[in-house]
Amino acid sequence: MPFGVFGTFWAYLKLRELGVRQPARLDWWGNVTFGVGLIAVLVGITYGIQPYGGHTMGWTSPFVMSAIAGGIVMLVIFCFAETRVEHPMFRLPLFKIRTFTAGNLASLLSGLGRGGLMFVLIIWLQGIYLPRHGYSFSQTPLWAGIFMLPLTIGFLVAGPASGWLSDRFGARPFATGGMVVAAISFLLLELLPINFQYWQFALILLLNGIGMGLFASPNRAGIMNSLPPERRGVGAGMSATFQNSAMVLSIGIFFTLIILGLASSLPAALNHGLVAQGVPHADAARVAALPPVSVLFAALLGYNPVQTLLGPVISHLPASHAAYLTGRSFFPALISPAFSHGLSVAFDFAIAACLVAAIASLLRGRRYVHEERATGTEAVPAGETEAGEATAVGEPVPAGQTVPAGETVRRPG
């Protein structure tokens, strides 16, 4: 909160309005249909990872299916409404600009690939790695955050550098390269053993942070530079909506994949392990029948899942068995095989999302800066050359020469 308050006042005092202002009425149709549609879809996905009836997850729940289907219908209505109102919230014609569309698609896929990453890695640390290396469950939330610092360091190092370099050489090589680096880091995480050496884990996190840092600033700059000045406000809002929505969607997707992996083998392993330690069959079956999401969130919140789930049953077991069940080795060893399977599927999804984002970024064209007029010159309209190819603002082209896609053409004023 203190950082947010400071940032608010600092922004008010230091930022200057340089954009083009155009008075317009509020787009009520767009706000209502988009807000209701997006919220319904995200709520449906969120409740989809919770159990329903006798199922591990809630994807068969009428509420979940209705929320997602209804949300999609509202978003379709939103797209139709935005082509009819005088001052739309989303300027759909902006998607005719290739650089804008490719940049937003890359941003959406990047968010899908990394949004749920933090939760998955933290569960990996808190539920398996840290307890195995002597940390009590109550200490794991703090140390998981500390162990994740290389990810932040990589982003902080690469972000400013990539922004400066993209100003000189264009957004495409750095945004595309960043997604390729991120995909490689996900592949390395997938190859890492479940009980890894921390220095290996730290280096891969550093690489992932560098990849994401290489992507973020150039991609954002490429999106904004492709827009005419009077559309940069709405374009920034559209871009932020894609990015933030992707982060929430990613969490639902990652948890779904992890839970599917756990559900395939965790109940049987949990039942067998508890019975082997003297837990009555009825109590073991009750705990094993609980949805895997409860086990995940117990570990995420810093509780020993076995101790929490068994409750008073622990006090009726022999002391040695109770100590083993509530210690730091039983639960990590029990969950590791099932979690590893779900983790591999989640990383495969992240790799695919990052590679498709890299392809989308590559298709944005070369350096592109939208400028309708410049002093002493008349720039060709955005996205056009004399041959109908994408353009950027730059140096004049000699008469009779063609202009490669993404290059610059100016006519003497």
In a domain, 274, yes or no: yes
In the chain, the number of structural domains is: 3
User: Domain check: are 271 and 133 in the same one?
Assistant: yes
Task: Among 347, 364, 381, identify where a domain stops.
Answer: 364
DSSP tag of 389: -
Q: 278 and 244 in contact (C-beta within 8 Å)?
A: no
pLDDT at residue 36, as a whole number: 92
- Consecutive 10-residue averages of pLDDT for the chain (413 residues): 93 81 79 90 85 80 92 91 83 84 88 82 87 85 91 89 81 87 93 91 94 88 81 83 84 81 80 85 83 74 76 82 82 81 86 91 71 41 37 40 44 39
User: Domain check: are 27 and 156 in the same one?
Assistant: no
pTM: 0.76
pLDDT at residue 218, as a whole number: 86
Residue 192 lies in domain: 94-364
- Name the nearest CA neighbour of 31 among 215, 333, 237, 186: 237
In a domain, 12, yes or no: no
Question: CATH code at 220?
Answer: 1.20.1250
- Look-up: residue for tokens 């053993």? 193
Residues sharing a CB contact under 8 Å with residue 5, sequence separation 6 or more, in sequence order: none
- Look-up: residue for tokens 């298709």? 363
Rounded Cα distance, 385 and 402, in Å: 9
In a domain, 354, yes or no: yes
In a domain, 13, yes or no: no
Q: 203 and 98 in contact (C-beta within 8 Å)?
A: no
User: Domain check: are 243 and 224 in the same one?
Assistant: yes
User: Domain check: are 401 and 351 in the same one?
Assistant: no
User: Domain check: are 348 and 264 in the same one?
Assistant: yes
In a domain, 259, yes or no: yes
In a domain, 127, yes or no: yes
- How do residues 205-231 score in pLDDT, each as one tens digit? 999 999 998 888 888 888 888 888 777
Name the phi and psi angles at 120, rounded to 5.
-65, -45
Strands 373-374 and 377-379: antiparallel
Residues sharing a CB contact under 8 Å with residue 62, sequence separation 6 or more, in sequence order: none
